[in-house]
Structure 1
């Protein structure tokens, strides 16, 4: 048995020796191939790990250095600085494609400093002249060559052409020298541009929104300023007064209007208004104006004139040597009812006075004309209000869930203002501002007005302009600065994190704070096409949770107290707080087709076939019903 095993082992050894002798070369080659493959795999893994690490570092850099608030050009400059770490050259430029002009426009230029990997902004005239210096043109015509990542010759200069995205942008680096561009550099740049493309797209979108916003705001502010001068007599007088002081080289001036035989200061420049008010309310002012302009509209009073010593000491203490008094009123109807007075600390010469007299004569005629127009415009201001309200109604009625919105805004705002004990004229302005609070949306984009669903970040930034645009519209048409300010600031927050100015606390006008509370409440209880309304009790809880941060806590408390008083009325036990068409401010054109209209014997949701859907409501979620159900549950418990 043992001998048999030995024989078998000898036989296998013999076979193995024969195999190794005949195939030893092949075995060595196979083993060598396995070793080489393993080394290549290890090398590839190391290279891949390095590339992943490099990509991670670049991604981290993009996240850390690029921020929308820095502005597009600064972010482009930061991207050029990163390109500098990959390829060395004196100049780096960034172009963006302008689709309207079909060209690439130069947006950022950076030049290399002495140290590698550091580039600095370009300052014209500070780059030394070189024979092959790269002077980037302001624009480039888009052609097929621009879309390739390659080194190309432009004139006598070798440039690296780096396209970004699909015509999104273009980077050019140069002049290039031999040896500073390799396949590895090409891969790095290609990977980097792929990563930056999405960020660049977002920055361009944000910049477009910002530019459009700046145009809208700047235009609105300009129109608001112009129309304020045209429509508001106080702004007109202030503007003319400052202009007259400058043009006529006067040292100060004031304008006053006589009311109930007493002069009231309207505007002043170059002195303390309180000082002038004391003079104007006394008898000396009336005597001085009567004497000075008894025979003509304009009178220069010098130190050697008898009239000079009728000027009260505290006015003469201004140090003036001459006064010019101008009657700007309609002399036939109400002489000396509007008076302009300027003073000079150095008495004008005869020639200077002659020029000033002619200028003042023209100024007086123009002021009479403008102030007369403004008086007539005030008679038609009611027509402008009606037009703006009608536009707001049209906007409301475009979408079922906003039907009656502006009227609801106004009514609830009036309730709060009255509960706060505000003056009647303030309440009227709050009511109007609440009604027109969203009128600015009309001036932004009809596409956004009619959009279904939530806004994108860019669209939301554009929509935020509606408060400023709305304020400009109201100021331009009505000339009511208080209503305009309520509309302007109704999206400010108590904690200062609102827009457009970031006002906080009591720095926000009271009307704007009231409108903010009402607007938030209606947004919660009415819902949106993409979001169901919140039940009434939950809506009040949401409103309370916003107190002190987003909304005014005191105003919320007044609003909720009013609701509690309404709910405590025993006459509405088991019934809604009011009839649905009034609580929802639904137009009669919709209500006429509803069987619940004018019915007071039943709640609207108890009447079969009601027309709630026509104004964006469902009985199950409508706050007319949910408020009643909440009250019933509270009474039962």
Structure 2
């Protein structure tokens, strides 16, 4: 679903959009007004605090540097070497250092000192033993330059150690500027005497400073200088606790427009943010609607696919919410429905392919393949108990669908194993268990983990076993094993029916053999003829890869192809001499008589044409209907070759049987006239395989 007009064609989409806008935009507008006022006030206060904190931090940094300089001077008292190289390495923040003796003379240790005034010497010599003094003197040569700063401490009982401090380092200016950007610095003593300043102290500023209460250590004031407003933060640094020195005042000045630049930017940006927020809210509302409607649309499409029985396309929802959970539940339901439909289809196919088949081999092959595919197992084994020896099993094993036929084995189970199998009501799942291990070993199945054993029971008697083998542990779905049991029951019924049909077929074949022998017994010269013809005809049909149903029809016809001779007088059948034309005409009636005899038997309807046409010739000169070529059914063409061959190699009242070589040559010579050439070629191949050539 694309974001567009279609998004709002949904009632749910419109409802969510209106609700989202009402719940989001109105509070945003109210909060925006309140936030603007609050932020403006807070920015002013925060900027003032930042400037105050900067003044205090800078003052504390100056104090820290004074302590560091004091430690450096104390270290110099312990060193005898005061060369320029020593000073540069260990006293880099002093321009000069020397010792003033009791007479006021200065002994230079390094650097250059000016001539000290009497007032300076008086202050210096008054320093007590435990204190360190600071003395500031204005630079007479450069009035804009910072005042010189001296640190003084007792060197010994008679001498005073004095060091001239690098003021650029002390005040944190110059190349080591530690001030915040756009910030001016001014340092004054307690008398408002400027020691260093990057801006002039106007009279207005001095009046502001004079009006401030003396108890406030940190002050913030605003004044105007040459038409521009400034904020000045004022912090007093008391040095009496560590230094014999006056109070130092740290003044930091910032342009008001710089201090409030953040507020100015806020006033520009805030309306844009509000506008952007409105657009974001609208976009989020659309995205939220889409996030809600797309899963609904996907689930809707999923239900339509399920309605069409399309279970292979899951609903894909990645919303990470209840919609995704619903989609997952829907997919689980669809998968279960798919499994149930597949099970129904599989069982339906088994019904059609197995229950409709009466061939045991076909039932077994179909069952193995269907269960192999449906249960996705490593191997399927179907073992049938022998009818007369229930402990003996004939096993069929399928491990690869590419194989045309399953592997076959025979094995015996003990009475204990048979009793244990008979007690299994539904199924038995185990790994590395005695019974399962023995069945697997007998059936030739390699078990790595699981084997599902499904007994095949009829009238509470064990008729067989179906096993599903897995290489590793298998997690079965809810009804999967139940379906396996139901399919096993269907296979059991189908095999039971096929056994009954095969028993009936054996009975039928026995009946056919009995009838054939009855026909052949009418004449001593034709004893066993029908059975031999049937055997040869079936071998030719098998070489032709004839369908099973056609072969069954051919077998019936072959056994009974001469049943019409029942209506032929024995005197003609056993006549030792040549038949007269009238007698031969009577003989030629036996195919038609046979067809009439079999006509009432509906099951032999497909065999009757073979019986009726087995004396037709390929060139159309046969009897009774003078059919030719493809008009003669294939069964009759096969039967014609087999019948003539057995007839000429067998003794008759009027001649002795021919040699096989002569008989085969006669068949070959009549290929294309009496016999179908294709059938003759197959006949020759069969005879060659039998070693009769």
Please give the TM-score of this superposition, normalised by the length of structure 1.
Answer: 0.30
- Between the two structures, name the one with larger relative contact order (CA 8 Å, sep ≥ 6): 1
Structure number with higher helix proportion: 1
Please give the TM-score of this superposition, normalised by the length of structure 2.
Answer: 0.28
Larger radius of gyration: 2
